[in-house]
Amino acid sequence: MTPIFPGSKDAAGRRATLGVMGGGQLGRMFVHAAQRLGYFTAVLDPDAQSPAGLVSHHHIQTDYNDPAGLAQLADLCQAITTEFENVPAQALQTLAQTRPVAPGAAVVGIAQDRIEEKAHFAACADISGVTCAPYAVIETPAQLQAIQENRADLLPGILKTARMGYDGKGQVRVKTAHELAAAWAELGSVACVLEKMLPLTAECSVLVARGWDGQVVSYAPQRNVHVAGILAVTHAYEGAMPPALATSARDAAVAIAQHLGYVGMLCVEFFVVNDGSAHGGLVVNEMAPRPHNSGHYTLDACNASQFDLQVHAMAGLPLPQPRQHSPAIMLNLLGEVWFDASGQQREPDWQAVLSLPGTHLHLYGKAEARPGRKMGHLTITGPDVASVKTVARRAAGLLSLPGLDTI
């Protein structure tokens, strides 16, 4: 990989341009990071009002598999990334025929399929020191019957679709063999994974960046709180996780990235369970081949954000070692914030929220607020953990956010 330096020009005299597949908020923040360094940017997304497309130099408004759109993106850009894992892997493979693509199609394909993802976690357990929860694959009625008859140890469990599941979608909790059969039918009898429900005490994630040359840097693990399957609060400060668990999670995430030969920004999510196991209660849940919602605090609390590292990694630039300069709590802002208790739409009281010390508001430019839709986030930073928690509780109360009792 020959580095693509910001401000450089190609043989035709065009400015160095970085491309992203997907125009959501992660793409928008990637575009801002790339432009701040001096790159031109191009976004491929079918939505004319996509948050990233609205702020990019170029917006290619086509389907992700459109040959003409992919050819235009490849012609404009010197390197290309993705902002969400459900971009068709085949489209990334097509782009990779002529341009560096990070992360690559093969890795994104693994993250798109829970069956492949769990097989990968199991395969690298010896080097990562952490494995996933006990599970079984259900793709056929015969496999369903075999689990009903022979795998009572997996119940109660969570039935998850192998593909297209995120933010709690495509998941059903089941307690009995009968409920399992009904849930599989409810999900359309598609390929699924039945995962044993574990006694969770916490959830955490680790952000890792790996370059084309194998250089790896990472952030300290952050503790996450989910409500109804959607991230509500991220705690990012010293002491948010027990030191031994934090070290194990960080080492495991780096090992997973190395095992994949990954290039780009990777988030690995873990469960912390109270089961007395030899791995210290750490279980790998899933990975996201991109920046992650739980890493948004890095925009305001670190010397280099996860989006800065995404740009550096794909362009072949040196990876700065991230350093967190302030304790932080990140609060997700879903569409519910724009509605009062009676369901009437209204604007949140930003005057009161932004009057609080250390608040950093990030709205994603989405035209319509809907329940469950990620509209923005609020990061609170401060000189110490106690002051950050105090302000975060006040902000969460003003906005009627869930997860207040966990701050």
Q: Is 111 part of a structural domain of the chain? A: no
Q: Are residues 163 and 95 in the same domain?
A: no
Q: Residue 45: is its pLDDT beyond 90? A: yes
Residue 243 belongs to some domain of the structure: yes
pLDDT of residue 108: 95
In a domain, 126, yes or no: no
Mean pLDDT of 63-91: 95
Which residues are part of a known binding site?
114, 160, 165-171, 195-198, 203, 226, 285-286
Stretch 120-135: mean pLDDT, rounded? 89
Which residue range is the domain that position 243 belongs to?
200-406
Total structural domains within the chain: 3
Q: Are residues 151 and 208 in the same domain?
A: no
What does the pLDDT read at residue 57? Answer: 97
Confidence of residue 278 (pLDDT cuts 50, 70, 90): very low
pLDDT digits (tens, 9 = 90+) for 162-192: 987 665 678 899 999 999 999 999 999 999 9
Assess whether 274 and 369 both reside in one domain: yes
Which runs of consecutive H residues, i.e. helices, occur in 50-209? 67-76, 89-96, 105-112, 114-123, 125-128, 141-150, 177-186
Contact of 138 with 191, CB cutoff 8 Å = yes
What average pLDDT does the segment 231-259 reach? 95
CATH number at residue 370: 3.30.470.20
Known binding positions for ATP: 114, 160, 165-171, 195-198, 203, 226, 285-286
pLDDT at 275: 61
Are 310 and 176 members of one domain?
no
Do residue 269 and residue 156 come from a single domain?
Answer: no
Q: Place 94 in a pLDDT band, splitting at 50, 70 and 90.
A: very high
Tally Cβ neighbours within 10 Å of residue 350. 14
Mean pLDDT, residues 377-405: 96
Confidence band for 145, pLDDT divided at 50, 70 and 90: very high
Residue where a domain terminates, one of 56, 85, 101: 101
- Final residue in a domain of this structure, among 181, 196, 211: 196
Element (H, E) at 395: helix 385-398
Which has the closest alpha carbon to 159: 138, 145, 141, 178?
138
pLDDT score for 131: 87
Average pLDDT of the residues in 266-287:
82
CB contact at 8 A, 92 and 113: no
Kindly report the three-state secondary structure assignment for every residue of 203-234. Answer: EEEEEEEECCCCCEEECCCEEEEEECCEEEEE
Please give the model's pTM, rounded to 2 decimal places. 0.94
Residues 235 and 191 placed together within one structural domain of the fold? no
Same domain, 297 and 218: yes
Q: What is the pLDDT of residue 280?
A: 58
Contacts of 13 (CB under 8 A, 6+ apart): none
Given a cut of 90, whether residue 126 has pLDDT beyond it is: no
Mean pLDDT of 327-338: 97
Q: Select from 146, 180, 196 the last residue of a domain.
A: 196
What is the arithmetic mean of pLDDT over 149-167? Answer: 86
Q: Does 29 map to a domain?
A: yes
The mean of the pLDDT values for the chain is 94
Are 380 and 257 part of one and the same domain?
Answer: yes
Residue 83 pLDDT > 50, yes or no? yes
In a domain, 240, yes or no: yes
Q: What is the CATH number of the domain that holds 165?
A: 3.30.1490.20
Residues 142 and 170 in one domain: yes
Question: Among 120, 65, 73, which residue's Cα sits nearest to residue 89?
Answer: 65
Same domain, residue pair 250 and 388:
yes
Share of the chain above pLDDT 70, in %: 98
| C-alpha–C-alpha distance, residues 83 and 335, integer Å | 21
